[in-house]
Structure 1
Amino acid sequence: MSLQDNAHHPAPQQPQEPVVGFIIDGEGREVPITEDMIQQTCTTLEESRQPAHQQG
């Protein structure tokens, strides 16, 4: 087998956004969790955090 034999077999393409999990919506359907959903949740969490109480 030569290196040229491998040139005829293209590499499998990767999906744009891999699915890391699902949530179940109110109607029982599986909804893929996207990176945007995670980023939005993290942003909301950061904005809701209370500043640490400073002792003086």
Structure 2
Amino acid sequence: MNQPHDDNEPRVVHVDPQQPVGGAIIDAHGQEVPITEKMIQHACEELDDEWFLAPAKN
């Protein structure tokens, strides 16, 4: 039996980290490389490591 879903609650979809997620990049050799969940997670981790607060404006 399925439990009712609250529309205000975000849905979580688990995917295989190596499964393409619907986009691609072109590498240095002109080859199309599908973007994977693992690539997106890696990019997010790099951004998390690099962010900083901007100086306050007076």
Would the TM-score normalized by the shorter structure come out above 0.5? yes
Q: Deviations over 1:3-43 (max 9, x none)?
A: xxxxxxxxxxxxx5343100000000000000000000000
How many residue pairs are counted as aligned between the two chains?
39
Structure with the higher strand share, 1 or 2:
2
Q: Which amino acid aligns with 1:26?
A: A
Runs of 4+ in 1 over 4 A off after TM superposition: none
Q: Normalization by structure 1: what TM-score?
A: 0.57
Aligned-residue RMSD, C-alpha: 1.8
User: How far, CA to CA, are the matches of 1:25 and 1:34 in structure 2?
Assistant: 14
CA 1:31–1:25 in 2, change beyond 3 Å: closer, same or farther?
Answer: same
Q: Percent identity?
A: 49
Gapped regions of structure 1 (runs ≥ 5) = 1-15
1:48 to 47, 50, 57: 50
Larger radius of gyration: 1
